């Protein structure tokens, strides 16, 4: 199957803003922090295996110091996974040692840098935050492991202090600087400007972590990558703290289809991955969820359905098809259904309708939908029988 569809016209004609991108999945860490969500050991192993098989670059497997069970899950995922496996740690000695002992490929250390979090959550001074960060980074490097550093609440941090922190951890030898929009207050232009500023003060690679409190997580993640970030942290179905994170499926497909970036990820498994996380997280996927919602490739409006029947690129992106993400297109019957959809559905069901019969069935479908009644397959076939649409009996070979 081709990686994308050739339909680059109009606003899609320029796709040069991003050339390469790393996908850092945090479903098993930040995703699990969704209220009322908890992954079992087996859940974590199954999700990690799926992410790994798809070619996900980095898997943040959890917070090793959190519990013995969490440590075991992170350790075992690290042992059995091809992807880079990351463990989270505060800038606290016990956290860092637990992550190192879990034998991960990367340790992700973080500290609050906004004054509100330093004063009312961490209860530490700016100076203490910097000192602890440097000490933690040096310990991870001493262990011979890649280290990522996050100035938590970066988008609400004093600009001059943020630069001071970035320069200090860069001098300490950090490999990656993650820029987190912890409380989801960034906007695409402002976040891009912030990434450009940080990039000017470090030689480390930049990663972004965006939250969806205002529905801007994916847009902010992409804006950060346009501004020079090499990696984006995402979670499947966008689950995570509060309103969640930038969604794995949205960021990956935006990169693949809108920016023509070959992420190396097997996108045909995206729907199966989304279903797995929906089941294990007990968080239902909204019908209108981009890429993986049941309405993402569904059409009811007569004009839209007629166009899609003729050429799916008429009323779908054109550069993203259901096949690319392991989904299926659906023509939904309801109040807005037109004759083209009804004729297509009748033909699929083996009927041979006349034009008048198509119009008669369409009227029944519209009336049923207008009454807020669902048009199921059984209901649709009942309408066809009531109208008297002919359906030839299948031809079978005689018994010899």
Task: Based on the fold, state whether residues 189 and 249 are members of the same structural domain.
Answer: yes
For the chain, the domain total comes to 2
Task: Based on the fold, state whether residues 308 and 343 are members of the same structural domain.
Answer: yes
Domain boundary among 254, 281, 308: 281
For residue 107, count other CB atoms closer than 10 A to its CB: 28
Task: Based on the fold, state whether residues 197 and 343 are members of the same structural domain.
Answer: no
pLDDT in tens, 3-35: 666 666 788 888 889 999 999 999 999 999 999
Q: What percent of the chain has pLDDT over 70?
A: 93
pLDDT in tens, 210-269: 999 999 999 999 999 999 999 999 999 999 999 999 999 999 999 999 999 999 999 999
Domain boundary among 248, 281, 314: 281
pTM here is: 0.88
Task: Based on the fold, state whether residues 51 and 108 are members of the same structural domain.
Answer: yes
Least confident of 74-83, 247-256, 294-303, 379-388: 294-303
User: At residue 334, does pLDDT exceed 80?
Assistant: no
Q: Which is more confident, 359 or 108?
A: 108
Would 236 be classed as within a structural domain? yes
Would 213 be classed as within a structural domain? yes
Task: Based on the fold, state whether residues 240 and 341 are members of the same structural domain.
Answer: no
Which pLDDT score is estimated for 384? 86
Would 249 be classed as within a structural domain? yes
Task: Based on the fold, state whether residues 179 and 307 are members of the same structural domain.
Answer: no
pLDDT in tens, 143-194: 999 999 999 999 999 999 999 999 999 999 999 999 999 999 999 999 999 9
CATH number for position 63: 3.20.20.70
Task: Based on the fold, state whether residues 64 and 164 are members of the same structural domain.
Answer: yes
pLDDT in tens, 340-352: 888 888 888 899 8
Domain boundary among 252, 281, 310: 281
Q: State how far the Cα of 273 lies from the Cα of 292, in Å rounded to an integer.
A: 10
Which pLDDT score is estimated for 53? 98
Q: State how far the Cα of 179 lies from the Cα of 109, in Å rounded to an integer.
A: 12
- Could you tell me how many helices (H) and strands (E) the chain has, helices first? 14, 10
Task: Based on the fold, state whether residues 133 and 259 are members of the same structural domain.
Answer: yes
Task: Based on the fold, state whether residues 265 and 376 are members of the same structural domain.
Answer: no
DSSP letter at 240 equals S
pLDDT in tens, 294-327: 999 987 665 565 566 567 777 788 899 999 999 9
pLDDT in tens, 197-215: 999 999 999 999 999 999 9
Would 393 be classed as within a structural domain? no
Furthest-apart CA pair in the chain: how many Å? 92
Would 370 be classed as within a structural domain? yes
Would 289 be classed as within a structural domain? no
Would 392 be classed as within a structural domain? no
Which pLDDT score is estimated for 2? 53
Which pLDDT score is estimated for 286? 97
Average pLDDT, the chain: 92
Q: State how far the Cα of 172 lies from the Cα of 134, in Å rounded to an integer.
A: 6
Which pLDDT score is estimated for 77? 98
Q: State how far the Cα of 37 lies from the Cα of 195, in Å rounded to an integer.
A: 31
Would 399 be classed as within a structural domain? no
Domain region containing 342: 298-387
Q: State how far the Cα of 255 lies from the Cα of 91, in Å rounded to an integer.
A: 33
Which pLDDT score is estimated for 349? 87
Task: Based on the fold, state whether residues 53 and 185 are members of the same structural domain.
Answer: yes
Task: Based on the fold, state whether residues 274 and 347 are members of the same structural domain.
Answer: no
Task: Based on the fold, state whether residues 193 and 308 are members of the same structural domain.
Answer: no
């Amino acid at each position: 199957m081709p990686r994308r569809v050739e339909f680059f016209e109009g606003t899609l004609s320029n796709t040069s803003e991003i050339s390469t991108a790393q996908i850092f999945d945090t479903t098993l860490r930040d995703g699990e922090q969704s209220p009322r969500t908890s992954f079992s050991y087996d859940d974590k192993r199954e999700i990690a295996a799926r992410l790994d098989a798809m070619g996900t670059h980095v898997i943040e497997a959890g917070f090793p110091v959190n519990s013995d069970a969490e440590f075991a899950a992170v350790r075992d995922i690290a042992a059995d996974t091809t992807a880079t496996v990351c463990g989270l740690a505060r800038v606290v000695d016990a956290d860092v040692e637990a992550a190192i002992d879990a034998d991960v490929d990367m340790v992700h250390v973080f500290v609050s840098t906004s004054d509100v979090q330093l004063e009312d959550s961490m209860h530490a001074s700016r100076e203490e935050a910097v000192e602890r960060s440097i000490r933690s980074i040096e310990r991870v490097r001493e262990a011979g492991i890649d280290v990522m550093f996050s100035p938590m609440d970066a988008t609400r941090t004093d600009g001059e202090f943020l630069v001071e922190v970035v320069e200090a951890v860069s001098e300490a030898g950090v490999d990656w600087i993650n820029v987190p929009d912890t409380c989801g207050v960034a906007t695409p232009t402002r976040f891009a400007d912030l990434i450009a500023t940080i990039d000017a003060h470090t030689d480390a690679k930049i990663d972004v972590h965006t939250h969806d409190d205002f529905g801007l997580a994916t847009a902010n993640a992409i804006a950060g990558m346009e501004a020079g970030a090499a990696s984006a942290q995402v979670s499947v179905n966008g689950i995570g703290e509060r309103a969640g994170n930038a969604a794995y499926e949205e960021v990956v497909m935006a990169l693949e289809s809108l920016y023509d970036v070959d992420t190396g990820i097997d996108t045909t498994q995206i729907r199966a991955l989304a279903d797995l996380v929906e089941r294990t997280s007990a968080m239902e996927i909204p019908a209108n969820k981009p890429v993986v919602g049941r309405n993402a490739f569904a059409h009811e409006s007569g004009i839209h359905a007629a166009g899609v029947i003729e050429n799916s690129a008429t009323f779908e992106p054109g550069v993203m098809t259901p096949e690319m993400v392991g989904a299926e297109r659906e023509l939904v019957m309801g109040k807005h259904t037109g004759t083209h959809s009804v004729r297509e559905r009748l033909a699929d069901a083996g009927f041979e309708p006349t034009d008048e019969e198509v119009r008669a069935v369409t009227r029944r479908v519209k009336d049923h939908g207008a009454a807020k009644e669902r048009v199921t397959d059984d209901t649709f076939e009942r309408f066809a029988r009531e109208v008297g649409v002919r359906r030839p009996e299948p031809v079978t070979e005689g018994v010899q």
